[in-house]
Every structure is written in C-alpha cells, then in structure tokens.
A and B are shown apart, each in its own frame.
Chain A
Amino acid sequence: SQTIHQWPATLVQPVGSPLSLECTVEGTSNPNLYWYRQAAGRGLQLLFYSVGIGQISSEVPQNLSASRPQDRQFILSSKKLLLSDSGFYLCAWNGGTPTDTQYFGPGTRLTVL
C-alpha cells in the first residue's frame, strides 16, 4: 500500500530564516505530487504541483519554491520566511490524472515569529 510522509510535524521559525520541508511517498511510482497551504480558518491553497522529476508548476506568486529531485520526493523551500508564511503545509499525491483522488500526508504546522 502507498504511504506518504512529511517532516517535520511542527516547526517554529523566525522571520527571515530559511525553510525546507520534505515529503516522500512509498509504494508507488511516478506519482503526481502537490504542496498545499492551509492558513488558519481558510481553505486549502495549491502552491505547487509536479508530474515528474524536475517538473514543477507554481500556482501562486510567493517567496516559496519547490523541487523534485527524485521520483518520490518533493521539497518545499524558502530563502527568507515571512510572517504570512505561517500555516499548515500539506503534501499530497495521486496517480493517473491530476483530477484523480488525492491522498494527503500528515502535514507540517509552521509558525513564523
């Protein structure tokens, strides 16, 4: 069966510090991978998605970036965090088409102070 991992689970970072969140998927090959952010009291916002190694599409302009160095690894980064980057970051995957059911990892709760 497929599993998706994210770490760390919780992170508190000062404004201006860098960020690196990692997501890995097991039990599947060539998944579509997604990064979402959920701010307090708001819906899920798609940040990036990837259909293959090195292929990244950005949904919204921001100071975040994503990379996919391996088939089942998706990384979310920032060089300098802003207060507005606080939120619940969720990685998701699916197979087949991008409109198939997506499965989420446990998420990383980021607080920028």
Chain B
Amino acid sequence: RKEVEQDPGPFNVPEGATVAFNCTYSNSASQSFFWYRQDCRKEPKLLMSVYSSGNEDGRFTAQLNRASQYISLLIRDSKLSDSATYLCVVNRITGGGNKLTFGTGTQLKVEL
C-alpha cells in the first residue's frame, strides 16, 4: 500500500462547480498535512496546511479525519485558473527522522 494515495483523475468540471478531492494515508502517527498545487511543468506550490479542526481559505476548505486517515480538499465556485494537479502531502515517520511524502496528485480541469 502506498503511504499517500490519491485518485489521479482527471476531474473535468464546469466553471462554477464544486469539486472535492480525497487522499488517504497509511501512517497513523503522521502529524503534518498539506495540499500543494502544481501547474503543468512547474514546481509545486503550497496551497494550504491542513489542521485537525479543518480550515478554510477563500474558496478552498481542507478537512482532516484522523480516525479514517484521510484528508480532503473542497474547491467551491471553480475557476478556469484552478486547473492544475493537487498534491496531498503527509509527514512520514522513519528511523532517519520525519520527512514529507507527496501523493502522485489529482488532476483538475475546469472548463467553460
């Protein structure tokens, strides 16, 4: 089982739609969670951190369910500019210290 699993998509949605992505992680001891956005042929950029209580940033809402070990990202009122790949990121506990593990990403295409 992969440490971080995401549906690769693509999710094709019309402009203005609401779309949700889920991500599951395997290490129950994980403590840091993030969503990154990656545009085609560009570097990943931090979208938002994910906190236990859930957090919102404008049209974006992130939720964490520790019991089920999944993280979600909700995008409301999708814009064309939201088209990108969204990466779920979880810290990984290893004998060599904690590191971040990136999912392979979910691709979103917002269409007119």
> Measuring CB to CB, which residues of chain A are less than 8 angstroms from any residue of chain B?
36, 42-44, 46, 49, 57, 59, 88, 90, 97-107, 109
Contact = CB atoms under 8 A, between A and B. Distances in A.
Contact of A44 (B45, B49, B91, B102): B102
B100 interface: yes
Contact of B42 (A36, A100, A102, A106): A106
Interface of B: 31-32, 34, 41-46, 49, 87, 91, 96-105
Nearest to A103: B46
The 3 closest A-B pairs by CB, nearest first: A43-B104, A99-B91, A104-B43
A36 B101 CA distance: 11
A109 to B, nearest CB: 7
A59 to B, nearest CB: 8
Contacts of B100: 46, 98-99, 102
The secondary-structure label for the interface of chain B is strand
B99 A98 contact: yes
A29 to B, nearest CB: 20
A81 to B, nearest CB: 21
A31 B34 CA distance: 20
Nearest to B49: A101
B96 A99 contact: no
